[in-house]
Structure 1
Amino acid sequence: MVEIRPVSGEAEWETVAWLWQDFRHDLAPIVNGFPLADGRYRHEWLDEYPADDRCGYLAWAPHPNTGEPAPVGFALVRGLGFVERVMQAFFVVPAARRGGLGQTLALDVIARHAGPWAIPFQHDNTRAMAFWRRVAERAWGERWAETFEAVAGRDDVPPDHWIRSL
């Protein structure tokens, strides 16, 4: 059983920061990402949370060995109070994938924030591409579109994909 709740308090944001390192490690082969000099991956997006126009969610599930609640994923949303909400970052730990937890987390977060949505992902991230297309179909039926947008300051990489609700 998964529990999804807003990130609250410094301790839970620290939990997100630990998971963030897994998230960036997971993306490293796709974005040619290396750790910084201190051994951590880039975290400037995470440093912008929490804020008035941003929020985060943690997914919790029983740890398979102890039964205690364990963080198994997160979602970061920006654009609250603006025309369009953006799923800025999304991650499910590898051991919790393939059972529908990611889709449950994504649909739960989308449902909490009415209005237009945008979900960007890298061109070469084929797993994310398939995942977000399935989520879009579940969330909006046929009322979504996929576009391509250049990555700011990166002419050397393919444009990102953006799924937007219509």
Structure 2
Amino acid sequence: MEFSGLAKEVRECEGIEQFDLGGYNQAKLDKLIKDCFSTPIRNKGCCATFCIGGGKATRQKYDPMLQKYITASLISVGYEEDRGASKETPGKFKHQHDTGKNLIFMHVFPHGEKDPGGSNDADEESEEEDPLARDPDELVQVLSLDDFKMFAAKKGTRAHYSYMSNMLTTYACGCS
């Protein structure tokens, strides 16, 4: 299927990219969300950030119901709202009010396509080596003290913090 305009830009996004939805109404937004997210996009691990509102200076640019419309549209194509959503949680989205910029954003973490040629051994190896993919209880048991310190020193996402917290709790309790 060939996409054009904003839908094409969103489907080709890499990393974190921001898109402005000023002037969008419900029908236009429903079509955009369906085109963008009803099928997996090419790039795994990206974040499409939509500007959906703001303060006094930008308020007239956005439909006051845009947040409800985009939430309903995303749910209709199988996405789930999750306040802790991140690139590690494809198929989720979250709302954010950036008080510094006085703008309202919807961050969408799309499903990525699988490698069209079948399985990709390099990707599988990196997933197996990713400590976040392992159970915190198991990590406490298998990581050396140096590896644990290196892992703990990494700056990461909320998911990383949650794993570290679970690991430390398990370690402190002596539970396994």
What TM-score, normalized to structure 1? 0.37
Of structures 1 and 2, the larger Rg is shown by 2
Choose between structure 1 and 2 for higher RCO, CA contacts under 8 A separated by at least 6 residues: 2
- Normalized per residue, the structure richer in strand is 1
What TM-score, normalized to structure 2? 0.35
